[in-house]
Structure 1
Amino acid sequence: MAPSDPYPSPPPSPAQIGADPILRNALRYTLSAKEYKTLHQYLISRSPPAVRKRALPPPKYAALVQSKDDYNGAAIRASLRVFIATQTSLKLWELTKGSFFAGGNPQRIKPKTPILKSPNLRLSLSLSLLLLLHRLLFRFFSRLRSNLLTKDAAPFRRRNPRISRSLTSRLAPAIGASLAGFALGVYPGDQLRITIAIYVATRSLEFAYIALEEDGWFRGKPWWWGSWLLMPVATGQLLHAFVFDRDCFPKAYGDFILDHTPNYVQRRPASYPPNLSWPSTNTIVDSLAEMSRLNWPPFISPILFPSTQTLPPSLTQLAPITSPAHPSHTFLSCATLHPSTPSCLTTFVRYILTAFPTLAKFFAAYYTLFALPKWRMFVEEPSHELNALAKRVLRTSAFLTGAIGTSWGSICLFQNLFPRTLTPSSRWVLGGALGGMWGFVDRRGGHGHFLYSIRLGIDSFWKVGKKRGWWKGVQGGDVLVFVAGLGIVNVVYEKNRGAVGGVGKGVGWLRGEELFSETVENDLEGKAEVKRD
C-alpha cells in the first residue's frame, strides 16, 4: 500500500494567508513548492522544535508561491543559482590559488577593483543572464510559432509569407534562443572569452559533422579518415607560431614542449662556469628563427678554424653551444640542436628512447586520476580495465613523443633534403604537419587531444594574422562567433539529439525543457497541418 501524503489537506489560497506580494515573489524565485517540500521533509522536520515551529508547512508554502505558470519563476531560480555557484566557485579558486600555489612567496597586494568592473562578478552575471535569456527566448519563439500556426493567423501569413515561413519553421525557437549568446558580452573581452567562443564554435561544428555523417553525407569515406587529420593542420600552425610569433602562442603549451625536448634544446651543463652566460630556451628558439631568415647558414667549426668568425653577427649568443660542437657538423642548426652528436638520426632515436618513458609516467598518472570515478568497473573487471588503461597510456605517449620529436627532427631532415633557399621559413609549417601525422597512432582515443590542439591553432592563427595585418579584428567578434556556435548546437539538437551526445542534457537544461509546458508541443503538432493560405 502506498504511503499516505503527510500533508493531505488542500493548501489554502494566498488570499487566506494574506502574505505580502513582495515576500511571495521572493519565495517563489528562491525555492519551488516541490523543493521546499523535500527540504522540509529531510531537513526542517529534523531540526530543533524552535526551528520547526517557525518554518512554514509545505501546503502553506505551496499556496504562497502558487501561480498559473511557473516557467518564468523556474528560469529566474536557475539563473540565480548559476550566479551564486559561479561567484562562489571563482572566489574559492582565488583563495585556493593564493594559498597552495604561492610557493611560499609573499603575495602581491592587488589594487582593489570596483565591484561593477570585477571580472568574476561579470563572468557570473554573464553566465546567469545567458541561461535566463535562453530559456525566455526559447519559450517566446515557441509560443509565437504556435500562435502563427493557428487559423486566426492566416491573414498574417498571407501578407508576410517570408516572415511567416521563418517564424513558423521548426528551427525558429532554436535559432531565436541562440540570441541569448550575446550575454557573453557582459564579460570583459579577454582570453577567457575568446577561448569560450572558440570552444563552442568547434564543438558545434563537431556536432554538425556527426549529424551529417548519420544522415549519410560521408558514405564511402576511407578507413583512415578521422579527427586525427586535424592534428597536422594544428601542429603546423602552432610550430610556426612558436618559432616566429611566440607572443601568439599559448605559453603553457610551449612550456610543455620545451620541458620534454632536452635532447634538442640544450640546457646549461652542471659543470658550466657560473660566471659565464648560457642562452635561454627562448633565445635558442629565436636563434632558429633567425637562421630561417638567413637561409640556414652552414656551420664553421671554431675547433677547426679558431681564428675565423664562425657565427653571423645576429647569432653570436649561440657561441657557448656551437663552440664545442662536433667538427663534422655541416649545418648551423644541427650544431645548435645536437652539438655533441653529429648524427641527426641518432639524436632522433635517442630522443624517442628518452622522452617516451617520461611521458608514459605522466599520462599514467593523468589517466589514472580520471579513471578513479570508474573504480567499480576496475573492481568488477580489473584485467579488462587495466588493459584498456595501459593501451591508452601507451598510445598517447607514443603519439606525443613522436609528434614532438618529429617536429624538431624535421629541421635536420629538411636541411639534408632541401636547398638552403627553398622555403626557409615555411618549412616549419611542413615540419609541424609531419609531427602531427603521429596522431594516426592515437586515432581511436585521441579525439579530445586533436580538438584541443585545433582550438589552440585557431586562436594562434587569428592572433598571428591580426599581428601581421592580414585582417582587422571586429569589436565583439568573439561574441558573434559564440552566438553562431550556440545556434548550430541548438539546430543540431533540434534535428538530431543523438548527434550532440551527453551535451544534449546540458542543452535541454539550458532550454528548460523539464519545465516547458507539454501543451505547447501538443499545440505545435496539432497545428502543423494547418494550411497556409
Structure 2
Amino acid sequence: MAPSLVIYLVSPKEYASICKAGRSQHVQECDSLSAATFRRASRSFTATYALILAIDVAIPAAIGKKGIKQLLRKAQEKAIRTGLSFTALFLSHAFILAFLIRTRQKLVQRLGHPPPCKSLRYFRSLCSTEYFPPIISGVLSGTALVIHPPGHRRVGIAIYLFTRTVEAFYRFMDDEGYLPNLPWWFGLWMMFPFASGQLILAMVYDDDCFPNSLKSFLMGFSNSYLKKRPTDYPTHLAWPGTDAIINNIAEISRKNYPKFESPVLRPGAFIVPPFFQEVSPILNSAHPSIPYLSCALLHPDNPSCTKVLLGFCAKELVSVSKFMFVFYAGLGLLRYKKVKKDPLSFIVMTVEKIAGASAFVTFCIGTCWACICAFQRILPRNFLPRGRYV
C-alpha cells in the first residue's frame, strides 16, 4: 500500500510498530494535519457505529425483546447517521479552524494598512483576535449535529455540549480575573442542583419530555419509594405502576397537598378522592400514623421518612455499586493497553471511582424522594406547590 494512503489509515507510531524503521520514518515525514484529522474522523465513525449497534441491537437482543434482524434493520440507519454526524463534526471543525487561523494571520500582518471604512476596521479587529477562530469554528461545526437522528439522544448531546460550553466560559472568566469578588462557595457545582431540579420537574409534570433511559435508571434504583405489588394481593385487582405513582405525586401538588387519615385506623373517615383512585390500593394500606398524603404514597409501610431514607441508601448503594462496577469495567476494556502497563494503579483508581460514583448517585436519588416528604412537612400547603420541585 502506498505510504500516502497509509497515513490516512494508521498513525506513524502505529505504522512503526508493524513495519521496518526506515519505511516508517518516511511515513512519519509524510504525515500531515489533514491525515490526522481524517484518521480521527474515520475512527470516530467506526466507534460510534459499533456503539449504537451495541446499545440498540446487542443489549435488547440479549434481553430477548426482539429478534436481531428486526433490531438491526431499525438501528442501522440510526447508527450510520449518528456516526456521520460525529465524523462531520470532527472534519468541519478541524478544517474551519485551520482556515480561520490562516485568515487571522493574514489579517494580523495587514494591521498597518487601515481599511477604507469604519465597519471593515471593526470587522478586521474582531477577526484578528485570538478567540475568533475557535469560537467561529465551534459554532459552524456544531451544525453537523443536524445529521444526528432526532430524539432524546440528540437533545442530550446538545445539552451536554451547552453545559460544557458554560463550564469552559466560567473557567475562562475566572482565570482571566473577571470574577474577583465571588464568594468561596460559588462555582460550577451550582449547575448540578439546578439541572437536577429541572429534570425532576420534567419527570413529575411533563413525563413525555423526560428521557426514557434516565427514567428507567432512576426508577430501577427507587424500589424503597415505589411499592411493588404484594405477593398476596388478588390477581384480579389492579395495582398502580410507576407511572401512576409519579402522576399522582403531581396531582397531590396540584391539590395543594391535602391531609391524609388512614382508613385502617378510622374506617370511613378518609375516602380516597376520585382523582387518587388509581393509587387507592397503596393509600388504603398505608400505615395509620402517616399524616401526609405524599408520604402515604411513597412509603406506606413505614411512617418515618428518615428511616426510609437511611434504608434506601443502605439498600440501593449495593445495587448502584454493582452497576458502576460493570460500567467502569467496560471502560477498562476499552483502555486495555494502559491497564496492561499498570494494572495495580488502574484497580485502585477504579475502586475509588466506583465508591465515589455509587455514593453520589445513591444519595442524589434518595435526596430527590426524601425532599418530597420533607417539603410537605416543613412548608405550608399553599407555598410553592409546584415550584418546590425546581
* TM-score, scaled to structure 2: 0.78
Other-structure match for 2:128 = 168
Q: 1:79 to 1:266 in 2, by over 3 A?
A: same
Give me the whole-angstrom Cα distance separating, in 2, the residues matched to 1:112 and 1:161.
Answer: 56
User: Deviation at 1:28?
Assistant: 8.5
Deviation string for 1:302-329 (max 9, x for gaps)? 2344456610001112222122222232
Other-structure match for 2:94 = 135
User: Deviation at 1:296?
Assistant: 1.6
Q: 1:408 to 1:198 in 2, by over 3 A?
A: closer
Contact map agreement 1:299 1:332 (CA 8 A) in 2 = yes
User: Deviation at 1:299?
Assistant: 1.9
Task: Using the aligned pairs only, state the percent identity.
Answer: 30
Determine whether 1:260 maps to 2:225.
Answer: no
Other-structure match for 1:303 = 264
Other-structure match for 1:199 = 160
Other-structure match for 1:85 = 43
Q: 2:309 aligns with which of 330, 348, 372?
A: 348
Give me the whole-angstrom Cα distance separating, in 1, the residues matched to 2:47 and 2:142.
Answer: 22
Q: 1:229 to 1:172 in 2, by over 3 A?
A: closer
Determine whether 1:177 maps to 2:152.
Answer: no
Other-structure match for 2:344 = 379
Contact map agreement 2:49 2:80 (CA 8 A) in 1 = no
Give me the whole-angstrom Cα distance separating, in 2, the residues matched to 1:283 and 1:317.
Answer: 7
Letter of the aligned partner of 2:5 in structure 1?
Answer: T
Q: Secondary structure at the match of 1:216?
A: coil
User: Deviation at 1:80?
Assistant: 4.9
User: Deviation at 1:246?
Assistant: 1.5
Aligned length, in residue pairs: 378
User: Deviation at 1:242?
Assistant: 1.4
Q: 1:27 to 1:234 in 2, by over 3 A?
A: same
Determine whether 1:30 maps to 2:1.
Answer: no
Letter of the aligned partner of 1:162 in structure 2?
Answer: Y
User: Deviation at 1:197?
Assistant: 2.6
Other-structure match for 2:245 = 284
Contact map agreement 2:152 2:211 (CA 8 A) in 1 = no
Determine whether 1:412 maps to 2:373.
Answer: yes
> Gaps spanning 5+ residues in structure 2: where?
none
Matches within 5 A, 1:7-18: none
User: Deviation at 1:283?
Assistant: 0.7
Q: 1:343 to 1:193 in 2, by over 3 A?
A: closer
Q: Secondary structure at the match of 1:101?
A: helix
> Gaps spanning 5+ residues in structure 1: where?
1-25, 46-56, 430-533
Contact map agreement 1:147 1:153 (CA 8 A) in 2 = no
User: Deviation at 1:360?
Assistant: 4.0
Contact map agreement 2:8 2:39 (CA 8 A) in 1 = no
Give me the whole-angstrom Cα distance separating, in 1, the residues matched to 2:215 and 2:356.
Answer: 22
* TM-score, scaled to structure 1: 0.59
Contact map agreement 2:48 2:82 (CA 8 A) in 1 = no
User: Deviation at 1:278?
Assistant: 0.9
User: Deviation at 1:266?
Assistant: 0.7
Matches within 5 A, 1:67-78: 75=34, 77-78=35-36
Q: Secondary structure at the match of 1:411?
A: helix
Q: 1:128 to 1:153 in 2, by over 3 A?
A: farther
Deviation string for 1:242-275 (max 9, x for gaps)? 1111112222222222222222211111222222
Other-structure match for 1:144 = 103
Deviation string for 1:477-514 (max 9, x for gaps)? xxxxxxxxxxxxxxxxxxxxxxxxxxxxxxxxxxxxxx
Give me the whole-angstrom Cα distance separating, in 1, the residues matched to 2:342 and 2:48.
Answer: 33
Contact map agreement 1:82 1:124 (CA 8 A) in 2 = no
Give me the whole-angstrom Cα distance separating, in 2, the residues matched to 1:81 and 1:256.
Answer: 35
User: Deviation at 1:182?
Assistant: 2.9
Q: Secondary structure at the match of 2:302?
A: coil
Matches within 5 A, 1:462-501: none
Q: 1:423 to 1:184 in 2, by over 3 A?
A: closer
Q: 1:162 to 1:276 in 2, by over 3 A?
A: same
User: Deviation at 1:104?
Assistant: 3.5
Letter of the aligned partner of 1:315 in structure 2?
Answer: F
Other-structure match for 1:54 = none
Deviation string for 1:122-172 (max 9, x for gaps)? 444443344443333333333333334446982646774223323333334
Deviation string for 1:384-420 (max 9, x for gaps)? x74x665554444443333322322222223222332
User: Deviation at 1:203?
Assistant: 1.6
Give me the whole-angstrom Cα distance separating, in 2, the residues matched to 1:363 and 1:222.
Answer: 34
Other-structure match for 1:228 = 189
Query: More displaced, 164-173 or 322-331?
Result: 164-173
Letter of the aligned partner of 2:102 in structure 1?
Answer: R
Give me the whole-angstrom Cα distance separating, in 2, the residues matched to 1:212 and 1:299.
Answer: 51
Give me the whole-angstrom Cα distance separating, in 1, the residues matched to 2:85 and 2:125.
Answer: 32
Give me the whole-angstrom Cα distance separating, in 1, the residues matched to 2:389 and 2:329.
Answer: 35
Contact map agreement 1:83 1:124 (CA 8 A) in 2 = no
Q: 1:28 to 1:317 in 2, by over 3 A?
A: same
Q: 1:292 to 1:78 in 2, by over 3 A?
A: same
Give me the whole-angstrom Cα distance separating, in 2, the residues matched to 1:242 and 1:196.
Answer: 19
Other-structure match for 1:333 = 294
User: Deviation at 1:425?
Assistant: 2.0
Q: Secondary structure at the match of 1:334?
A: helix
User: Deviation at 1:279?
Assistant: 0.7
Determine whether 1:427 maps to 2:388.
Answer: yes
Give me the whole-angstrom Cα distance separating, in 1, the residues matched to 2:302 and 2:11.
Answer: 73
Contact map agreement 2:82 2:147 (CA 8 A) in 1 = yes
Give me the whole-angstrom Cα distance separating, in 1, the residues matched to 2:10 and 2:377.
Answer: 72
